[in-house]
Structure 1
Amino acid sequence: MTSPAPATRTFRVGIAGCGAISRNHLESFKALDNVQLVGVCDVDADRARATAVAWDIPNALTSVDELLALDVDIISVCTPHPTHEEVVLKAAAAGVNVLCEKPIATRLESAERMVAACEEAGVQLGVLFQRRFWPASQKIREAIDDGTLGRAIMAQCSVMLHRAPDYYNRDAWRGTWDSDGGGVLMSQAVHQIDLLQWYLGDVAEVYGKVNTYLHGDYIEVEDSATAVITFTAGAMATLEASTAVSPNLGIQLRITGETGASASLTEFPEGSDGRLDLWAVGERIVVEPVHPEGVEPNVDLSAINGQLIPFHKLQVQDFVQSLESGTEPAITGKDALKSLRILLAVYESSRTGQPVRFAPVDPAHQAIPGLRDREKVAG
């Protein structure tokens, strides 16, 4: 008689922060059979209690220390951006695995301390970039890897979004450098910056500009940005991002590979499933139909977050499975450091008027032979 298979481990989970995005984490963990949600915490005791009641969670707390005292295996960080470091460092010190909302932090030093602390403690640090889990995003990655696109050489990324004044005014921490860490780059376009570096690799140089065109009366950060990004493998990308657009135009990311083939990933309206609206491979171009009946473009943030829940679920499932198997999650803290470095470089470049250089371009992918010499003569 064979022995029964060992029971699947049950992971005790706590949620830090009960703001808007916590719903996505709550639904994602609730969907897993091997997870027990044991507590939530928020500096607003009433909000913590209301969340615990709504989700049938036994403990409503007001501090991360209290949450960690519940002997949790995973803490999910849904607090404002600059507070991520404190939560993660406390979790690491307690030997607790962490799944953190994006951006990982607002300062590079903070993010580096978070990654180092989790490595030293031997716990996993995952960061939420659920758009990588779209089937369309995965198909582009596969097409790069299997040679259909080949090495990505060019990319154009457009993040043209609408945010009304109440988006910034409803939460006091939004729209300030100290509390939000930045504007459209930090809070919205970081997702697409993550995809860019996932597809094109390590960054060599960033040159960018930021400005505030529409929301300047109530925010101190940028509502618009542009950048030219060069990668160590020789690829080049352009980025434009804004929350000053009405109606909302959504998001488009087009990748061209060394085979000459191209693919375009579109999120329109914002929050909808990303789709391949253009697949230009070989002798055929496949174009996804648009919305002939029209759409409601200026979607409320709660609706945007709600439509992303299926992909939050996939990433949360991946994170829990990585703990079961003893492997790294699909998106680690080190991965999240890359997108943070890029967007912070846009701010630095805009401030100084100079490009920010990280690393040289691989000599095999340098500019056309002799081009640099001709540029010197022309200058």
Structure 2
Amino acid sequence: MTKTIKFVIVGSGNIASTYLSAVNNISKAEVVGVVSRKSEKPKALNHLPFFKSISEVTIDFNAVIICTPNGLHHISAVEAANKGKHVLCEKPIDITLEAIDKMIEASKKNDVKLGVAYQRRYSSDNPIVKKMIDSGELGRVFSVDLSVKNYRDDAYYDSAPYRGTYKIDGGGPFIQQACHYIDLYYWFFGKPKKLVSQLGTFVHDIEVEDHGAAICLHDSGMIGTITASTATKPGFPAKMEIYTSKGYLILDNDVITHWDIEGVENPTAQTPNENTHTGAATAAVADTTNHEMILNDFIAAIQTGGDCLISGESARNATEMILEIYNSQF
């Protein structure tokens, strides 16, 4: 019989409840406890034993799911790895390269898995597009426009003292809401050789940006643009427009909605699912399908000794690119 993987969730915010729902849909996994310093326990997690730290967990477990604020990820990841526990980390992996490198080093030293929830790489049509880019089937890609125009109200930023801060959040929408798609951009097209950006704070009373744009120049000659926002009412699904020597395609929330590539048929019959989480206007996630996919892969990596879909090293790329965006303003 396949061994059940026992998880402890570290953090008790909204995303922790999402992971609990996702794990509950997986027969070979269960959540056995929660680590949180909050005095108020969310109803969804209230039936589970709570601990103040990983070191205080007294029950048997195999792995942690890290759901703490961005800049705290490395603390729990290193602590768990040093106890011989596998680590699945919510995006972004962390907000500094130094912190990320500590996570990677600890996982290697202790021979545990380090996976990161950048599940958009394997969502809907994104794997198909990746394969066609790599094969050259689309022709020469010369222009990419990525738009992640979300909206978050004041209540979102007021919901926790760390929101909208550099120290813990690491920045605004580029590292928080758009990091999924910046990870996807890097996965598709690689690292830009040069970045220039302009960021501003227009709608919210926060210390970080709530809107900005970056221009990415690549060795291939490709020019990319990335817009990220939490100021654009009412919030829009993420869109990526790809222009090539053979035509163009448009991905709306990971689904190909426009296709005109010379000599190549549209490879998908999918239509956008109105129930799929877009992140456009809220951080709350109802559909846990993508999280279940990441969890199933992570469990398989533990049980077989294979690699995670998104390793710590791979997830590091998105943070590196975002930090360059932050450091390359006019």
With normalisation by structure 1, the TM-score equals: 0.79
Conserved 8 A contact 1:246-1:298: no
Deviations 1:206-247 (A, max 9, x none): 2212111111x2x10000111112334543311111111112
Unaligned runs of 5+ in 1: 1-6, 268-273, 292-296, 354-379
Paired position in structure 1 for 2:302: 323
Unaligned runs of 5+ in 2: 274-278
Determine if the alignment matches structure 1 residue 240 to structure 2 residue 227.
yes
Paired position in structure 1 for 2:50: 60
1:158 Cα offset (Å): 0.8
Deviations 1:111-146 (A, max 9, x none): 111112212221111111122221211221122234
Bigger CA radius of gyration: 1
1:284 Cα offset (Å): 7.8
1:288 Cα offset (Å): 8.8
Alignment of 1:292-303 (within 5 A): 299-302=281-284
* Cα distance in 2, alignment partners of residues 230 and 299 from structure 1: 30
Paired position in structure 2 for 1:89: 78
Paired position in structure 1 for 2:59: 70
Q: Specify the code of the residue in structure 2 equivalent to 1:60.
A: F
Give the 3-state SS of the residue equivalent to 2:213 in structure 1: strand
Determine if the alignment matches structure 1 residue 206 to structure 2 residue 195.
yes
Determine if the alignment matches structure 1 residue 279 to structure 2 residue 266.
no
Q: Specify the code of the residue in structure 2 equivalent to 1:72.
A: F
Paired position in structure 2 for 1:104: 93
> Which residue of 241, 261, 267 corresponds with 1:254?
241
* Cα distance in 2, alignment partners of residues 188 and 83 from structure 1: 17
Aligned-residue CA RMSD in angstroms?
2.5
* Cα distance in 1, alignment partners of residues 19 and 271 from structure 2: 32
Give the 3-state SS of the residue equivalent to 2:152 in structure 1: coil
> Which residue of 208, 211, 226 corresponds with 1:221?
208
Q: Specify the code of the residue in structure 1 equivalent to 2:25.
A: A
Give the 3-state SS of the residue equivalent to 1:75 in structure 2: strand
With normalisation by structure 2, the TM-score equals: 0.90
Rate the CA distance shift 1:289–1:77 in 2: closer, same or farther, 3 A.
Answer: closer
Conserved 8 A contact 2:149-2:280: no
For these two proteins, the number of residue pairs brought into alignment is: 324
Q: Specify the code of the residue in structure 1 equivalent to 2:255.
A: R
Determine if the alignment matches structure 1 residue 338 to structure 2 residue 317.
yes
1:314 Cα offset (Å): 0.8
Structure with the higher fraction of residues in helix conformation? 1
Determine if the alignment matches structure 1 residue 306 to structure 2 residue 286.
yes
Rate the CA distance shift 1:164–1:313 in 2: closer, same or farther, 3 A.
Answer: same
1:100 Cα offset (Å): 0.4
* Cα distance in 2, alignment partners of residues 10 and 36 from structure 1: 7
Rate the CA distance shift 1:263–1:91 in 2: closer, same or farther, 3 A.
Answer: same
* Cα distance in 2, alignment partners of residues 313 and 164 from structure 1: 29
* Cα distance in 1, alignment partners of residues 312 and 23 from structure 2: 20
Deviations 1:250-296 (A, max 9, x none): 21112234x524321112xxxxxx321112222589799899xxxxx
Paired position in structure 1 for 2:134: 145
* Cα distance in 2, alignment partners of residues 156 and 200 from structure 1: 12
Determine if the alignment matches structure 1 residue 182 to structure 2 residue 171.
yes
- Identity among equivalent positions (%) equals 29
* Cα distance in 1, alignment partners of residues 98 and 88 from structure 2: 19
Deviations 1:138-190 (A, max 9, x none): 22112223443256443110111111111101111101111211001111111
Conserved 8 A contact 1:105-1:111: yes
Paired position in structure 2 for 1:366: none
Determine if the alignment matches structure 1 residue 113 to structure 2 residue 139.
no
